[in-house]
Amino acid sequence: MPGGDLIDISYFPGCSLATSAKESNVSLMESSKILGLNLIELEDWNCCGSSSASCLDKELAFALGARDLSLAPAGRPLMAMCPRCLHHLRYAQLRLRQEPEAHRALERRWGRPISKDLEIIHFMEVLVRMGPKRLQEGQVRSLNGLKFLPYYGCTLFRPPALRRQKYFQAEMGTVLTILGGQELTKALIYRCCGSFLSAARADVVTPLVNEIMESAVATGAECLVTACAMCQLNLEIRCTWEPKIPVFHFSEILALALGAQDYESWFVRHLVDPRPLLQARGLIS
């Protein structure tokens, strides 16, 4: 990154990015490096509790999130890429602020302070704060008018309790347009992907996913770009509609535009091979 200082940020990957969506994690690290960010993985982080803990036991979900917050060093913001992890961490912080007794009890139990003022931000917010100039300076490849549909999923629909927080997920389209992509939006970009029902009730999720994909193809999109690793997985594995179009992690496209080289190892992990499309657009060789 020309002329920019490294900015230290604590990074919470979450279970999906650490395992099934490793390509998202790797490309996120890569783009951050190019942009001059220093992402420091939260040491010994645990699962935020996911939907299952908050479905069955709110107290457990709260404690799991609180433990992650207790591990974050003071003085630098905590960043997450997974929108659901972000929700659960913010929810835990909200509870800590509202319940001083619970806060004290957890601090005593783990023997470390839990900051109630820790800033919890999404990767998109980091990009917005950086501004478009920095992105353009780091840009190596133009996206050559790649017609993409920014698929936000249900991340923009947030619980009323967390309504007053800052969110920047809607910037996905703006950022990729700056980098030369062509944004299409007239499709089901906010429709929920089915979340955990994909495992237990695939019969419910398949029609939903097909509807989303059909609407994307109808607007002329060549691919979908999503900020959530679970959406990416559900859209790929539950789609029975033809023709299948590739679904990218946002960080993959970002890293590609910023000149990352090891994309081959990310794209082989996709169930719908995105390489023919990117080759046709002259983005990869």
Task: Considering the complex, state which of residue 59 and residue 214 has its C-beta at the smaller distance from other proteins.
Answer: 59
Residue span 212-251 as binding mask against other proteins, x where in contact by CB under 8 A, dash where not: ---------------------x---x--------------
- What minimum distance in Å lies between the beta carbon of 232 and other proteins? 10
Helix, strand, coil shares, percent, the chain, to 5: 50, 10, 40
Q: Does 67 bind other proteins (CB under 8 A)?
A: yes
- What minimum distance in Å lies between the beta carbon of 231 and other proteins? 11
SS3 2: coil
Q: Which of 41, 57, 99, 262 binds other proteins (CB under 8 A)?
A: 57
Residue 220's Cβ-side half-sphere holds a number of Cα atoms within 13 Å equal to 6
Q: Does 20 bind other proteins (CB under 8 A)?
A: yes
Burial class (CB in 10 A: 0-12, 13-18, 19+), 71: middle
What single DSSP character describes residue 271?
Answer: S
- Residue 45 CA: distances (Å) to CA of 71, 106, 122: 7, 16, 17
Site for other proteins in 94-153 (CB under 8 A): 109-110
Contact 51, 87 (CB under 8 A): no
Contact 77, 120 (CB under 8 A): yes
Task: Considering the complex, state which of residue 76 and residue 191 has its C-beta at the smaller distance from other proteins.
Answer: 191
Residue type, 162: L
90 alpha carbon, distance to own chain's centre: 15
Q: Does 51 bind other proteins (CB under 8 A)?
A: yes
- What minimum distance in Å lies between the beta carbon of 257 and other proteins? 24
- What minimum distance in Å lies between the beta carbon of 66 and other proteins? 9
- What minimum distance in Å lies between the beta carbon of 140 and other proteins? 27
- What minimum distance in Å lies between the beta carbon of 4 and other proteins? 32
Site for other proteins in 167-196 (CB under 8 A): 190-192, 194-196
CA torsion 118-124-126-131 (nearest 10°) is -150
Residues near other proteins (CB under 8 A) are 15, 18-21, 44-47, 49-60, 63-64, 67, 109-110, 154, 157-161, 190-192, 194-197, 199-202, 204, 208, 233, 237, 268-271
